[in-house]
Structure 1
Amino acid sequence: MLASKRILLIIGGGIAAFKSLDLIRRLRERGAQVTPVLTRAGEEFVTPLSVSALAGQKVFRDLFDLTDEAEMGHIELSRSADLIVVAPATADLMAKMAQGHADDLASTLLLATDTPVMVAPAMNVRMWEHPATQRNIATLKSDRIHFVGPNEGDMACGEHGPGRMAEPMEIVAAVEAALADGPLAGKRVLVTSGPTHEPIDPVRYIANRSSGAQGTAIARALSALGAEVVFVTGPADVAPPEGVEVVRVETAQEMLEAVQSALPVEAAVFAAAVADWRVASASTSKMKKTKGGLPVLEFTENPDILATISQMDKGRPALVVGFAAETDDVIDNATAKRTRKGCDWIVANDVSHETGIMGGKDNDITLISQEGAEDWPRMSKEDVARRLAERIAQALT
């Protein structure tokens, strides 16, 4: 898929830079031409010789190299690629990108380019969660910078959390999706998936039976058509698709915040099964059985994510798709939901126990739109996803 594609790879400074060596190899295996740019900090972790040997290309390092400026120059270098990939993208590099700094070769290339840019963040969890970094991330997303990762896990510093650079094959999948020549190329699409978990106490929560399989299949199908997909998922049973930006959440409130942070998008597909209610005051310690009787739980409504986005005055996606999992009067309830929420389409299905839909491999849906109800035959969730993705592509192009 990457044959003859030109990738400009900027390697930032961080222990994750060692993954960039494998990334170069994986990209070249798929036919890509990789031109490496190594920052001064990056040289502390990988050597120019190793990078050059794997890339089969000269390594660019210095903004003020007289020979390079005479032969090519940073302007031409920044615009000769099909995609610029920054991996690892450190907090410092992303701050420079967000604020328009250009004090070295990497930041100058990123400021001078009109080529699509993808970043694979890598940093300490505290740095990732810092408000300054989060502001920079929001700015970069609004500038249509592609993100892949970061992942969550153990770090070289001994801490645990989000901040690990995506694995090389995850980045390759994201590169392939970004360069895909499908009908949704250049379109940014949001997909929510999975259940939400609303805590009662530290060990108990309110949830539902959603596996996340349908939302995952939709995200994969949209990516296959060339879309840049932001995938906001609750604690699902299935792994998220490769090649998309994954944002993991637990609660409905966290999902709403993640969705709002992902805007603007051309289309939003709300496949997540969001809990309608949460405990008003979750206990901070485990609730114990007592002889005094059953505990009394006071509930409050969760935010309505679908309605919030559908009814936006400014920045509303061109197409908003909701889901309606019903057990009775499926068409009537779903039609009323579309009107009440203000979305464009509703994907309705009957999740009664006897259908086997909830948590199963197949789905049997009706697409509700302004034109009416369109019944689809029962098919696999992957086929539903492909058909829905094709309809979304038709609506956006």
Structure 2
Amino acid sequence: MFDCDILVIGGGIIGASTAYALSRAAPGTRVVVLEKEAGPARHQTGRNSGVIHSGIYYRPGSLKARYAARGAAEMVKFCAEYGLPHEVTGKLIVATDRSELPRLHALVQRGRENGIPVRELGPAQISEFEPQVRGIAAIHVGTTGVCDYGAVTAQLAEASGAELRYGARVTAVDRRPWGVAVRTADGSVVRARALVNCAGLHCDAVARLAGDEPGVRIVPFRGEYYELTRPGLVRGLVYPVPDPAFPFLGVHLTRGVDGGVHVGPNAVPAAAREGYRRRQVDPRDLAGTLAWPGSWRIARRHWRYGAGELRRSLSKRAFTDAVRRLLPAVDAADLRPAPAGVRAQAVLRDGTLVDDFLIRRGPRTVHVLNAPSPAATASLPIGREVARRALALVEG
């Protein structure tokens, strides 16, 4: 009667990690992964700067704080075990203005509360790590690193032993007391005892297909990147001091495993959930965003911040000025456009940006409803938690 025990929708790193965790926690569990694209990691997972985050930014006791710190160590171990490209580089978080010092000191305290080793630096010590970077103070976080999350996702999927079905876009979900039946665009039907929704940019839509009201909507934000034509200007990872009111970390510099240096991302609202180009519009996605009351409340509450992001999106000079605060040697000619990403940000009806991972259970279903950065870093512990909840549905 059943084609599998657990059906996972979404072939990004969270879906692959869930399948991998299921194979470890309950060997013999039959798992099918449905991914609408032709291969894994085509959206959030494969379109980021590849940072293995330490967990320093996140509220102590939150899932982000617990899972990122644990996940960073596990991600390094996983990459080493399977011979995947990675490096533990450490990173600098740099204050360039005295007004940022209280926030920098608060990060030091937060890091210590989260069990993350941090070292405070003065201007001369900043130059020892990054000769071209300028700041009045900084902290060094030694556990931060970089990897290739696309390669990690492919390895997780292969090691899971799950049946992977690519090009399988879900169009209908029929939930019954005995289990779940899912139809894909080609008319195929997959029957499972339980369903796991790891659909990322489309997770709220999948939840509604299953008959659950998620209570949030995904509002897409495009992350716009450049890359340095002179990558030798930066040795590792350099971040500004973030504004705690927002889930974005500001324009930063990241030397990846390929030796190139990404600069960004700028964060602006996208007119499509897969809106990787500035003029890309999906009328249905845009209408859904505009119809959600939380979208308008975000705009009213944070219009000043948004105006700055939009200005840097439209003006390369403004973007360059933001980079020059950290790296004065940069000029506009040093920046060339790089592929953009889209952040799947869950937003409540009142306009609150969901600031933690959000996992909810319904009848025969587990929904992952908010898993932007640092979800890739934390993917192994997230996968275990999702797998635990899914197995409870099957065994119960």
TM-score (normalizing by structure 1): 0.26
Give the structure with the higher percent strand: 2
TM-score (normalizing by structure 2): 0.26
Higher relative contact order (CA 8 A, sep 6+): 2
